[in-house]
Amino acid sequence: MKVLLDLQYLNVATTGIKTYMMELAHAALTYPHPDIEWVFSHDPENQSADQTFKGPQSKIQRLNYHLDYFRWKEFQLPDLIKKHKPDVLICLDFISPAASLPCRRLTVIHDAFFWQMPQNYPKWWRTYFLSLLRKGIKKNTELITTTEYSKRSLEEYLGKVNPITVIYQAPKSLDSGLDTTFLEENDLATKQYFLHIGTFDKRKNLPLLVRAFDQFLKKTKTDFKLVLAGGAGQSVQMNDFPIVEKLLEELGIQDKVLLPGYVNDEQVRTLYKNAFAYVFPSENEGFGIPVVEAMGTGVPVIHSDQPALLEVAGAAGLAFKTGDQQDLMEKMIILSLDNAQLNSMIQNGLEQSKKFSAQKFIEGFQNVILKK
């Protein structure tokens, strides 16, 4: 069985989707199946390192990217299929070619945000993107998604015409070294800070976390800090970074909250390894990869009771009511005062994280590929 894996989107992918694509490619090579021959459209490392369309973009540059993406999906990828003659095409970035193809399609749709949260996207772009998405779903298309919650959400908007399979993804392999100077340079004490890693997208609800942390400091009189690592939201509509900056100034806690921007793998591992707890206040997630990353490094997780996060964290997380600042603050205080619960969450989290291995990730795809 020959399988063509479309990795073109790695030239712009960030955070969750980038992790998904890279880990699947690595797992395909690490855990080969005797009945599957993998063909990669691009070398994953080289495509991920391509800087052509990364960074701040003018309108012309963004238009050029969209034209490049369209050309790839509708012309170059079908030509690659003619060349390699795969039995299965896997597209990991929502979009499959609109043209009829002589092979099965597995299309990964990570979440239903485009339908659920239209206010977070430019209207013209959302209309265009959803049109591409729907045109790529043919009779021989099988959909893959990340959680049962995402499956239910997609069925609501796409119906049940095409089969949808849930495959839990694997977290990023955090096997790099540690940045031994990072904590000292940023005045961070081990186990004395709460952590969040990710973009400042509005759905992440980071202003809520900042306000809850401010309350936490006032109530506990502790020297804890808060680290919000990651870049700006992906569009003007989605970006809460300026709001967070303004909020820190209004609350007068600039010295208590670190905004280091994007951090490299060694810094990510350092932040996880030394954090007191990870806090995930998101309003909506398709999976929530930081939950697994944090638990796998022995960090307890406080998260909103959003369905995907409850599904991924299981009983190992400490959930608060989504959007409830008071409840979040109380959960942060509880964890800071109860060593027994803290230690229990660490152990339960380590066990829960084992459910999301690279081997199980690729086996999920292998089962779908080889099913009769």
What does the pLDDT look like over 15-37, one tens digit per residue?
A: 789 999 999 999 999 999 999 99
Query: 122-151 in b/e burial notation, b at 16+ Cβ within 10 A?
Result: eeeebeebbebbeebbbeebbbbbbbebbb
| Among the ranges given (126-130, 135-139, 174-178), the one the predictor scored with the smallest mean pLDDT | 174-178
pLDDT digits (tens, 9 = 90+) for 215-231: 999 999 999 999 999 98
| Among the ranges given (235-244, 266-275, 309-318), the one the predictor scored with the smallest mean pLDDT | 235-244
pLDDT recorded at residue 233: 66
pLDDT digits (tens, 9 = 90+) for 194-221: 999 998 999 999 999 999 999 999 999 9
3-state DSSP call for residue 163?
A: coil
Angle at 86 between CA 84 and CA 88, to 5 degrees: 150
Q: What is the pTM of this model?
A: 0.92
Mean pLDDT of 148-166: 96
CA neighbor of 217 nearest in space, from 338, 322, 336: 336
Structure tokens at 102: 């002589």
Strand order in the sheet with 141-145: 37-40, 2-6, 88-91, 104-108, 141-145, 164-166
| Among the ranges given (25-34, 47-56, 159-168), the one the predictor scored with the smallest mean pLDDT | 47-56
Query: 179-218 in b/e burial notation, b at 16+ Cβ within 10 A?
Result: beebbeeeebeeeebbbbbbbbbbbbbbbbbbbbbbbbbe
Helices 358-370 and 15-30 sit at what angle, rounded to 10 degrees?
A: 80
Cβ partners under 8 Å of residue 35, min gap 6 = 1, 370
| Among the ranges given (98-107, 142-151, 172-181, 303-312), the one the predictor scored with the smallest mean pLDDT | 172-181
pLDDT of 51 higher than 90: no
Cβ partners under 8 Å of residue 86, min gap 6 = 2, 3, 4, 39, 103
Torsion of CA 216, 217, 220, 221, to 10 degrees: 180
Percent of the chain with pLDDT over 70: 98
Mean pLDDT of 85-110: 97
CA neighbor of 372 nearest in space, from 87, 110, 89: 87
CA neighbor of 6 nearest in space, from 92, 106, 133: 92
Percent of the chain with pLDDT over 90: 84
pLDDT of 57 higher than 80: no
pLDDT recorded at residue 54: 75
Mean pLDDT of 178-192: 93
* DSSP run (H or E) holding 303: strand 301-304
3-state DSSP call for residue 2?
A: strand
88 has which bridge partners? Answer: 3, 104
Supply the mean pLDDT for the chain.
Answer: 94
Torsion of CA 187, 192, 195, 200, to 10 degrees: -50
pLDDT of 60 higher than 90: no
pLDDT recorded at residue 56: 61
Mean pLDDT of 87-105: 96
Mean pLDDT of 66-81: 95
Q: What Rg do the C-alpha atoms of the chain give, in angstroms?
A: 21
**Quick one: 288 exposed, middle or buried, by C-beta within 10 A (0-12, 13-18, 19+)?**
buried
pLDDT recorded at residue 65: 87
Query: Residue 334: pLDDT band by 50, 70, 90 thresholds?
Result: very high
**What span, in angstroms and rounded, lies between the C-alpha atoms of 14 and 178?**
22
**What span, in angstroms and rounded, lies between the C-alpha atoms of 371 and 348?**
34
pLDDT recorded at residue 197: 95
Write the DSSP assignment of 223-263 as a string of letters: --EEEEES---SSTTTB-HHHHHHHHHHHT-GGGEEEEES-
**In this predicted model, which residue has the larger pLDDT, 33 or 54?**
33
For the chain, list the domains and their CATH numbers. 2-170+357-370 (3.40.50.2000), 182-353 (3.40.50.2000)
pLDDT recorded at residue 14: 77
